[in-house]
Amino acid sequence: DTAVSQTPKYLVTQMGNDKSIKCEQNLGHDTMYWYKQDSKKFLKIMFSYNNKELIINETVPNRFSPKSPDKAHLNLHINSLELGDSAVYFCASSQSRLTNTGELFFGEGSRLTVL
Amino acid sequence: AQRVTQPEKLLSVFKGAPVELKCNYSYSGSPELFWYVQYSRQRLQLLLRHISRESIKGFTADLNKGETSFHLKKPFAQEEDSAMYYCALSGHGNQFYFGTGTSLTVIP
């Protein structure tokens, strides 16, 4: 009955590879996010989707492409992985602004290591 | 533009001592402010929000609009409070912005 689940939890891969991280939420929320937490624990928003529509796209390389097949899922695909992509990626969800409780629900994170 | 600033990356206090984690924000309009906490090997979770004006696990935070601050305080720190704390701001359109985080260590 996990609210926000991400897979995989750990991912080790070589530079240049393409990988995906999946996220699913069963809270009925209509907004989902991807955050990147680097080695210094800085937490930075990457993307935000509301009802499958992209609403936030921070300065993120084009190699990163989010995909939202429905409002319960937001996947992150990364092409041509680089060493600097190594981080923990967190998925999160929240209710829409109209009824916003102000709470983000986070997944457990996916630790990506690029060798 | 940096919307949320946490000036201390690391903070160590002794058990039983008061603790204050600083947070300043910059935002036009009326943002909502939150504190999130990440305990070791756990996911980020909401600790408290300014609109609730509640005390959670002994922590309180008061929104000071004049100083644009939302400092997190606890009168007597406990070992289990050791964690990473993030101040966050929610603005228009469900945008959440996080500070750089403060790692709190409570020394036994």
Of the given ranges (A23-27, B6-10, B26-30, B78-82), which has the lowest mean pLDDT? B26-30
When pLDDT is averaged across residues A84-102 and rounded to a whole number, the result is 80
pLDDT of residue A44: 87
Query: Which residue among B46, B92, B101 sits closest to A103, beta carbon to beta carbon?
Result: B46
Total of domains in chain B = 1
Instruction: Give the whole-angstrom CA distance, residue A75 versus residue B47.
Output: 27
Do the Cβ atoms of B63 and B53 come closer than 8 Å?
Answer: no
Q: Is A100 on the interface with B (CB under 8 A)?
A: yes
Q: How far is B55 from chain A (nearest CA, A)?
A: 16
Instruction: Give the whole-angstrom CA distance, residue B87 versus residue A68.
Output: 28
The tokens 């400092």 sit on which residue? B71
- Domain hosting A75: range is 4-114
User: Could you tell me the CATH number of the domain that includes residue B24?
Assistant: 2.60.40.10
User: Could you tell me the CATH number of the domain that includes residue A99?
Assistant: 2.60.40.10
Query: Which residue among B9, B43, B97 sits closest to A106, beta carbon to beta carbon?
Result: B43
- Domain hosting B86: range is 4-107
Total CB pairs under 8 A between chain A and B: 61
Instruction: Give the whole-angstrom CA distance, residue A95 versus residue A110.
Output: 22
Residues 49-78 of A with CB under 8 A from B: 50, 55-56
Per-residue CA distances from A109 to A35, A95, B25, B34, B77 (Å)? 9, 20, 26, 20, 28
- A-chain residues within 8 Å CB-CB of B43? 90, 106-109
Total of domains in chain A = 1
Strand ranges, E, within B1-108: 4-5, 10-14, 19-21, 24-25, 32-38, 45-49, 60-61, 72-74, 83-90, 96-98, 102-107
Do the Cβ atoms of B16 and B76 come closer than 8 Å?
Answer: yes
Q: How far is A42 from chain B (nearest CA, A)?
A: 5
On average, the pLDDT of chain B sits at 90
Provide the CA B31 distance to its chain's centre, in angstroms: 15
When pLDDT is averaged across residues B26-41 and rounded to a whole number, the result is 88
pLDDT category of residue B30 using cuts at 50, 70 and 90: confident
The yes-or-no verdict on residue A98 having pLDDT over 70 is: no
